[in-house]
Amino acid sequence: MAMSRKNFLKILGLGFLSTGAGKGLSKPAASLEKAKAEASKLKITGVDIYAFDIPLIEPFKISIGTVYAANDVLVMIHTDAGVVGLGEACPFAPITGETQEMNLAAAKGLREIVLGKSPLAIESLVHGFGPFLHSNPSAVAAFDTALYDILGKVAGLPLYRLFGGDKPSFGTDITTDLDEPEKMAAKAAEFVGRGFDTIKIKVGQGQEIDLRRLEAIRQAIGYERKIRIDANQGWTPPLAIDTLKKMEKFQVQFVEQPVLASDLAGLKAVHAASPIPVMADEALFYPADALKLIKAEACAYFNIKLMKAGGLLNMMKIAHLADAANMLCMVGCMIDSRLGLTAAAHVVASNRNIVFADLDGHNSHTIDPVVGGMLFEKGQITVPELPGIGADVDPAFLKKLKKI
Ligand SMILES: [Mg+2]
């Protein structure tokens, strides 16, 4: 179903945009008028909502919970011009407290907001999603993403180009979830064998076993590769400070969310005392959280996620707030398919202060139902040069999904 830019423009009647810069510029006024007229006609005519279930190779375990499948929601926004936008919600209960059932119910409410509206009025539509944001950020993310997908397709540009980005290819880590230290070390070695040079390690269960995890992994992969760790709120502030001091010798790039998301003072205390830089993750969902963390000087880095922020617009806002504060960011994920991951990857490709990426959610999936989309190879991600997100769901897989 992946479609070329030319075909999209043909469908839209915007083929004049594909005639090349030289020709297009000869009559700028006429072209702009036509583009404006075409764009103003666009209306949302329907929204398909699907339960989008993807089994995992094995349960994914972090310090605050275990998930057994990616029970996601797929949203397809239809327009009268025939352009369709896709978005994914990946509700990850241990982090956002959402379930698939909640997201499906919220999606029905969000559908009512967008029906009959212009898909290009993203600013006001996303503003209208506000009441759903705190209880269902992932459902909101699916709608926001689908709108941007339409915008990119109408413009005939990949999202990262629409955002003015210029790094379609960048490095990503790959994650070892919680397990016995030896098993995590074997997994890390396997990842290094696949070409990854940065390994993210889940910790946060207790000092003794967490230290053994890092020791086993460094023994298995040496010190040439980078490691970063994620405690997922598993430590108290004093335990975090003590443990991070003892972990310094393992050369850790940064630690994600060492303490409870709600403990801003604790995060700030760990950030001030830790020899390893601290990244806020669960403490950061929305732009307002970013502002609070910046004001409190509570961390060194941000981990921005599509499913926490509630879409690409909020992700961009957080990245811009961080940039204004001269802070670097990572873009992370839940256990999204390559649809959500590719949408998030466009944000990395568009912001120079997003220098870390953790976009490996699909690595735990038994199947990849996405066609097109980002390439994920040897620790490098490359976003597609296709209009919009540039990812689609395999029609054969879509046929099997239950429409709500
Ligand atoms: Mg994290």
pLDDT of the residue at 8: 45
pLDDT of the residue at 65: 86
CA distance 198 to 182: 18
230 Cα: distance to centroid of ligand 1 (angstroms): 5
pLDDT of the residue at 16: 34
Chain segment 147-173, per-residue pLDDT in tens: 999 999 999 999 999 999 999 999 999
Sheet-wide strand order for 375-377: 169-171, 380-382, 375-377
148 Cα: distance to centroid of ligand 1 (angstroms): 25
Chain segment 230-244, per-residue pLDDT in tens: 999 999 999 999 999
Phi-psi region of 82 (alpha: psi -120 to 50; beta: other; left: phi over 0): left
CB half-sphere exposure, 294, CA atoms < 13 A: 19
Residue 20 makes CB contacts below 8 A (sequence gap 6+) with: none
Residue 223 has pLDDT above 90, yes or no: yes
- Cα–Cα–Cα angle for 25, 28, 23, nearest 5°? 30
pLDDT of the residue at 13: 41
Chain segment 324-378, per-residue pLDDT in tens: 999 999 999 999 999 999 999 999 999 999 999 999 999 999 999 999 999 999 9
pLDDT of the residue at 33: 72
| Contact present, 38 and 17 (Cβ < 8 Å) | no
Residue 21 has pLDDT above 50, yes or no: no
**Mean model confidence pLDDT for the chain:** 92
| Contact present, 393 and 86 (Cβ < 8 Å) | yes
For the chain, the structural domain boundaries read 1-41, 162-394
392 Cα: distance to centroid of ligand 1 (angstroms): 27
Residue 356 makes CB contacts below 8 A (sequence gap 6+) with: 173, 228, 254, 301, 328, 329, 330, 331
372 Cα: distance to centroid of ligand 1 (angstroms): 27
Exposed/middle/buried for 236, CB within 10 Å: 0-12, 13-18, 19+?
middle
Instruction: Kindly name the residue from 200, 268, 305, 308 that is annotated as catalytic.
Output: 305
Residue 141 has pLDDT above 70, yes or no: yes
Handedness of CA 261, 89, 60, 250 (dihedral sign): negative
Instruction: Kindly name the residue from 153, 187, 200, 202 that is annotated as catalytic.
Output: 202
Please confirm, yes or no, whether 202 is among the known catalytic residues: yes
User: Of 62-71, 188-197, 209-218, which range is least confident?
Assistant: 62-71
125 Cα: distance to centroid of ligand 1 (angstroms): 29
Residue 10 binned pLDDT confidence (cut-offs 50, 70, 90)? very low
Mean pLDDT across the stretch 211-221? Answer: 98
235 Cα: distance to centroid of ligand 1 (angstroms): 13
Closest CA to 345 of 334, 331, 365: 331
> Which tokens go with 172?
């990503």
280 Cα: distance to centroid of ligand 1 (angstroms): 8
**174-176 and 169-171 beta bridge pairing:** unpaired
> Which tokens go with 253?
């790039």
Tokens 């997201």 correspond to what residue? 103
**What are the residue ranges of helices labelled H in 136-283?**
137-155, 159-162, 181-193, 207-221, 237-247, 264-273
312 Cα: distance to centroid of ligand 1 (angstroms): 19
Strand, helix or coil for residue 333: coil
| Contact present, 355 and 173 (Cβ < 8 Å) | no
Domain 162-394 in CATH 1.20.1600.10: no
Mean pLDDT across the stretch 278-288? Answer: 98
| Contact present, 93 and 22 (Cβ < 8 Å) | no
**44-62 and 65-79 beta bridge pairing:** antiparallel
113 Cα: distance to centroid of ligand 1 (angstroms): 32
Task: Give the H/E segment covering residue 44.
Answer: strand 44-62
Residue 7 makes CB contacts below 8 A (sequence gap 6+) with: none
Residue 23 has pLDDT above 90, yes or no: no
